[in-house]
Amino acid sequence: AQRKLLLLPGDGIGPEIAAEVSKLIAILNDVVSAGFETETALVGGSAYDDCGEAVSDATMDLAMAADAVLFGAVGGPKWDGVPYDKRPEAGLLRLRKDMELFANLRPAICYPALADASSLKREIIEGLDILILRELTGGVYFGEPKEIVDLGNGQKRAVDTQVYETYEIERIARAAFELARTRRGKVTSMEKRNVMKTGVFWNEVVTRIHREEFPDLTLEHELADAGGMKLVRAPKQFDVIVTDNLFGDMLSDIAAMLTGSLGMLPSASLGKPDAATGRRKALYEPVHGSAPDIAGQGIANPIAMLASLGMCLRYSFAMNREADALDAAISQTLEAGIRTGDIMAEGCTKVGTGGMGDAVAER
Ligand code: NAI
Ligand code: MG
């Protein structure tokens, strides 16, 4: 079977880490006949330099036609002066919007070799494997009215509006239960039903989707503040956490830091299932940015990008065996003491971007 990937390396360290992911795609094609067909295109500042837009219409067409998009990172000081709607980030925002990527997946896993680098005790995070699912296209970041009003008496009023409609909560809830089914079967929904109408409604819709469509799975509810506390105190009690855009923004950053470095964190953004194939539109990317401070030096950590490919194998192609093998290869590489500068520790061997990619590829 042919599987169409669009690789968008982007700016800064993006092309350097994308080169390492290409090595693994080639191995998958050789070793398990994965049938990946990869096209590569420009995005971000490099696309702006080329065609005056952060993502061209032709690239958007490729993204819409691909089974999955692998995205590096965009941005850098070179483009500080470009018009707002053409800035590098506008490329990513257009991809998210046109592909309707409403579900943002941020895993927090603990690689045993790095457990001691965490600020939490080893027993709290050893073996940690949780997934935060954040609603990405609704809620208070987008609701109207959104304004600062001059009241004319020396006072102003700032307004943001949290809005959620039934279909928006239904689809993120379904995504949460579907993901939980491939994992440990437990979903924890977080909102603030004690003080917010959107919280009451969120709770009601998630509860109904669970009862009607996924009664065999476990659903628990937490108030988002108490849930955040539990996430730090005893994170292993969770499997999939589903929450709105605002709470998800905060909780996913907190969860990410349970386990350590920015160079290690992958993410995925999923859209609606295609009517014909059932496959969801999807974009996979590291959490970190283009790291202009280390770009061009060959020292960036490619693991976040490689782990993003792992998520792609798992969530776009149900290649769980291959995804497990990739995760194990990353883990074994770290166990062997092979480290890029950002995660370097005493007694370990320091390698560059290519050295890390090769070490994982070999395993
Ligand atoms: P950043 O994530 O690019 O870098 C923060 C720090 O972490 C830097 O010191 C960097 O060297 C280090 N770092 C990041 N990734 C690393 C890796 N793989 N290996 C080793 N070290 C790594 O965030 P920053 O500096 O705030 O933003 C730089 C540019 O990236 C800006 O233009 C920003 O707008 C853009 N950005 C893009 C994102 C995206 O493409 N999705 C996300 C975040 C920022
Ligand atoms: Mg954030």
Q: Is 86 marked within a binding site?
A: yes
Distance between CA atoms of residues 121 and 265, nearest Å? 20
Distance between CA atoms of residues 257 and 259, nearest Å? 5
Mean pLDDT in residue range 238-248: 97
Q: Name which of 260, 223, 226, 259 is nearest 243 in CA terms.
A: 223
pLDDT band at 136 (very low <50, low <70, confident <90, very high): very high
The domain segmentation of the chain, as residue ranges, is 1-118+260-363, 127-259
**Ligand 1 pocket check: which of 43, 290, 299, 356 to mutate, most ligand atoms within 8 Å of Cβ?**
290
**CA of 341, closest atom in ligand 1:** 20
Architecture of domain 1-118+260-363: 3-Layer(aba) Sandwich (3.40)
Mean pLDDT in residue range 39-59: 97
**CA of 77, closest atom in ligand 1:** 32
Q: Is 280 marked within a binding site?
A: no
Could you report the per-residue pLDDT of 1-35, keeping only the tens digit for each?
A: 689 999 999 999 999 999 999 999 999 999 999 99
pLDDT band at 228 (very low <50, low <70, confident <90, very high): very high
Please state the pTM of the whole predicted model. Answer: 0.92
Q: Name which of 262, 314, 310, 282 is nearest 20 in CA terms.
A: 310
Pair 191, 244: CB distance under 8 Å: yes
CA 304 to centroid of ligand 1, rounded, Å:
12
Which bound ligand lies closest to the C-alpha atom of 77? 1
Which bound ligand lies closest to the C-alpha atom of 339? 1
Q: Is 124 marked within a binding site?
A: no
23 is catalytic: no
Mean pLDDT in residue range 141-158: 96
What sign does the dihedral 50-51-57-58 (CA atoms) show?
A: negative
CA 351 to centroid of ligand 1, rounded, Å:
20
1-118+260-363 and 127-259: identical CATH topology: yes
Q: Name which of 72, 18, 17 is nearest 45 in CA terms.
A: 72
Q: Is the ipTM of this complex over 0.85?
A: yes
- What fold characterizes domain 127-259? Isopropylmalate Dehydrogenase (3.40.718)
Pair 168, 102: CB distance under 8 Å: yes
